[in-house]
Structure 1
């Protein structure tokens, strides 16, 4: 899948977990999922966030280095004043990296951050195993290399490199942002780099750095990447207002939330957050009504679809439910039924074996539209896919029979 195609899906309430792409039905959920994004060009870190960066930088650099570096490489009075009175995220976030420090003298620790391919390595698995076992308290026998690979490696997104107007390269696709302290991998941010987004998939870290607020530092670095890399927006994953572990996402502002009905972005304000307190599905119309359309308010958080790691730790899980055709559901944001029925499904490309064929030649269906309206048969299945993804995206999609 191209990064631009996935960008369009993310902007329609889709997310991915490994190779699985999914979109929740917010209107029929006990705990509706909403897509968030942060504008990196307008982001200003809070006092607590600034303190977290400064505290970690002091730990890496050390008092001895700070004093000796001040003697060997003194700042001008203006530089010192600016450093004390101004906080620039893209400067401060890199301050303790090895390549940013004047040497000699030697800092207390070496710290390096690199953007690497999302391939499996034993070094990465060690961090994953420790994180799942210690933070999530998963039994050792349930943690595996194959699970790590399936969940966080080998993304379906194709990697691309674009040239920006200023001549810089802009990487697209899935990557692992790797954090190394004294040469040892201690944290990994799993990222989807899209044309207009740094989309956070998961964040994991070794227990040894827990006291340094790694989740917070990772989020701030990803926002800095969105700003420096020309992506602008940082997507922290779904937000579920009734899940306490997701409240941290509101600490990064200004934020926008995706209206599932219109697929338009709404500025998050105190007024909008207050409306969430009504629980149920939030109607973003002028009435601002909350619609509690599903009575299952006491469902455990462990059965919700959670795709992005919080500062305290969350994990993705799902539960099976009785099958209902998407076209018979009340999912918000679907195209009108008339457009779904009239769409030309005959020429949708279908991969079968080593060849690609028109759907009408593979399935040999009839022309009646009953199957489409009720989501039955091959045409009905294709109609559900088209309605969920968006009719305008269908020319970019191909049905793979082997994978279906």
Structure 2
């Protein structure tokens, strides 16, 4: 496991991207120099979210628009009628080039969320960044210091734990085309193997039932090579800047931000896109029990023939695929690309889960009930909201929606006695790891003994409570003057 290194910024106040209010969005923030993928999985399971190297957690009790982390169980996902219409519309367009304008569908009243799915952003707006600049540190040296500190704490004879090296994806390996070929479900494959072993030659139920409801994979497998248009989705590591920062990507990003979000074109530079969507503290990790592409930050590029029409920015983590952002060509809004991209990402999770069962969730960022145009995320079936106090997952139902209608902040967990099992208490403070300078790394208890001061105690406790006991003891807290 690699070492996560973070610098805590404390409370942040800024403009809200949802209600557009000024100085009403309240959060806590930190800069991540490096994040172990499991650490980030644990952080988003406590309400954190990243934007480039900046990580933030909304103060839901105080902020203007409470944000609840939302995830979908991809293996329990069920298509709605609206989802099916969007998938059929895309398949018709690929097959014969026929356009089915969103405006016509909406006027006809036969697509209840097509305009919302097409025009709403797939992820939350870019958060307000703090004025404070992160300290300049040598990341590799800090990692070595942290590992040496951990090794000292081991009893004699204990096996040494080596830092996980982050393999870089070469130009030939960093891009993987996602095939449209039909895939058998893991359950079906197990059934077929069992039948073969027993000498049963009967067709599996999924093939016998001609009237069986089509799955998401069935819809996505329909287009063939003889179609008028070919859609190819290519998976690219964020670190492969030759692809992720290509002219076509920047042009698409600028067009989307100007047309959909009315951004100032002068501010949409390559550097701003890199800071927002390319840079990531997550390093690619390839454990033996992980997915083929490994864990880390990636882009899914949607190529229609030879034209880039959409990009999905995602993090692949030990328990989930987390959607960071999705942008597309507004000229193709008639294809409801926002919703279509979400369906594609759910299918991607289902594919990974077939070989990596622990990775079965699709994280959509934040669900903001107080902002009507952001409620579309809650339309995916088998969606869960994270309780902001106990950090357990609560199924999003009409009962929960009614509670949020009544009061925009809710605990969500009805069990009054339930507590955060990863709660950080003051007695855990001694084991928090600090990076003091380029040559010094130590636990908080040693820091107090050596320096004779605990002036940073309040801030370190606040940080530790927000990230939880596990991450507070595992990550490296930058405490440089």
Please report the TM-score for the alignment, with normalisation by the length of structure 1: 0.74
Residue of structure 2 equivalent to 1:343: 428
- 1:197 partnered with 2:275: no
Contact 2:394 / 2:413 at 8 angstroms: preserved in 1? no
1:126 pairs with 251, 260, 274, which one?
A: 251
Answer yes or no: is the 8 Å Cα contact 2:258–2:264 preserved in 1: yes
Match for residue 385 of structure 1 among 463, 466, 480 = 463
Which residue pairs with 1:56 in the alignment? 90
In structure 2, the residue corresponding to 1:12 is in which secondary structure? coil
1:101-122 CA deviation, whole Å, 9 max, x = no partner? 3x4xx42112100110113322
Work out the CA distance in 2 between the residues paired with 1:401 and 1:180.
45
Q: Distance in 2 between matches of 1:348 and 1:63?
A: 58
Provide the residue aligned with 1:353 in structure 2: 438
Query: How far apart, CA to CA, are the structure 2 residues paired with 1:224 and 1:31?
Result: 30
Cα gap change, 1:126 to 1:82, in 2 (>3 Å): farther
State the 1:283 CA deviation: 3.1
What are the residue-to-residue correspondences of 1:132-147 with 2, within 5 Å?
132-147=257-272
Q: Deviations over 1:39-95 (max 9, x none)?
A: 11111110111110111111112179xxxxxxxxxxxxx999967753111232243
TM-fit CA distance, 1:381 = 2.1
- Counterparts of 1:73-84 in structure 2, within 5 Å, are none
Change over 3 Å in CA distance of 1:353–1:223 after alignment to 2:
same
Determine if contact 1:38/1:235 at 8 Å carries over to the other structure.
Answer: yes
1:158 pairs with 2:283: yes
Please name the residue that 1:321 is paired with. Answer: none
From 107, 116, 128, the equivalent of 2:236 is 116
Deviation at 1:140, TM superposition (A): 1.3
Distance 1:343 1:286, change over 3 A: closer
1:228 aligns with 2:351: yes
Does the CA-based 8 Å contact 1:111-1:183 persist in structure 2? no
Note the C-alpha offset of 1:225. Answer: 1.0
On the 8 A contact 1:162/1:169 being kept in 2, the answer is no
Shift of 1:347: 6.1
CA–CA separation in structure 2 for the residues paired with 1:237 and 1:262: 18
**CA spacing shift, 1:334–1:145, aligned 2, 3 Å:** farther
Q: CA deviation at 1:141?
A: 1.0
Moved more, 248-257 or 378-387: 378-387
C-alpha distance in structure 2 between counterparts of 1:26 and 1:206, whole Å: 33
Distance 1:220 1:274 in 2: 26
Q: Which has the higher contact order (CA 8 A, sep 6+)?
A: 2
* Equivalent position of 1:91 in the other structure: 218
- Give the Cα–Cα distance (whole angstroms) in 1 for the partners of residues 252 and 436 of structure 2: 38
Describe the shift of the 1:30–1:113 C-alpha distance in structure 2 as closer, same or farther (beyond 3 A): same
Tell me, yes or no, if structure 1 residue 27 matches structure 2 residue 61. yes
Change (3 A) 1:84 1:214: farther
Match of 2:406 among 261, 278, 282: 278
Which residue of structure 2 aligns with residue 300 of structure 1?
Answer: none
Question: 3-state SS of the aligned residue for 1:180?
Answer: strand
Q: 8 Å contact 2:433–2:441 — kept in the other structure? A: no
Asked whether the equivalents of residues 390 and 413 of structure 2 are also in contact (C-alpha less than 8 Å), the reply is no
Distance 1:83 1:138, change over 3 A: farther
Separation in 2, partners of 1:240, 1:255:
14
Runs of 4+ in structure 1 over 3 Å off:
78-85, 162-165, 285-288, 332-336, 344-347, 354-367
Q: Contact between 2:253 and 2:328, CA under 8 Å: does it hold in 1?
A: yes
Moved more, 79-88 or 206-215: 79-88
1:328-373 per-position Cα deviation (integer Å, ceiling 9, x unaligned):
xxxx96977xx63323447623162365455567675436xxx6xx
Name the CA shift for 1:396/1:83 in 2 (closer, same or farther; >3 Å): farther
Does the Cα contact within 8 Å between 2:249 and 2:308 map onto a contact in 1?
yes
SS in 2 for 1:27: coil
Q: Separation in 1 of the partners of 2:294 and 2:211? A: 34
When residues 380 and 250 of structure 1 are mapped into structure 2, their CA distance, relative to the original with a 3 A threshold, is: same
Q: Which moved more, 1:247-256 or 1:390-399?
A: 390-399
Please state whether the residue corresponding to 1:147 is helix, strand or coil: helix
- Relative to structure 1, the CA distance from residue 135 to residue 63 in structure 2 (aligned partners, 3 Å threshold; closer, same or farther) is closer
Structure 1: state its 5+ residue gaps.
Answer: 65-77, 289-331, 372-376
Q: The residue matched to 1:266 in structure 2 has which SS?
A: strand
Tell me the secondary structure at the aligned position of residue 23 of structure 1. strand
Structure 1 pair 141/82, CA: closer, same or farther in 2 (3 Å)? farther
Q: 1:180 to 1:83 in 2, by over 3 A?
A: farther
TM-score, normalising length: structure 2 = 0.62
In structure 2, do the counterparts of structure 1 residues 352 and 287 end up closer, same or farther at CA, with 3 Å as the change threshold? Answer: closer
Number of equivalent positions? 328
- 8 Å Cα contact 1:351/1:398 also seen in 2: no
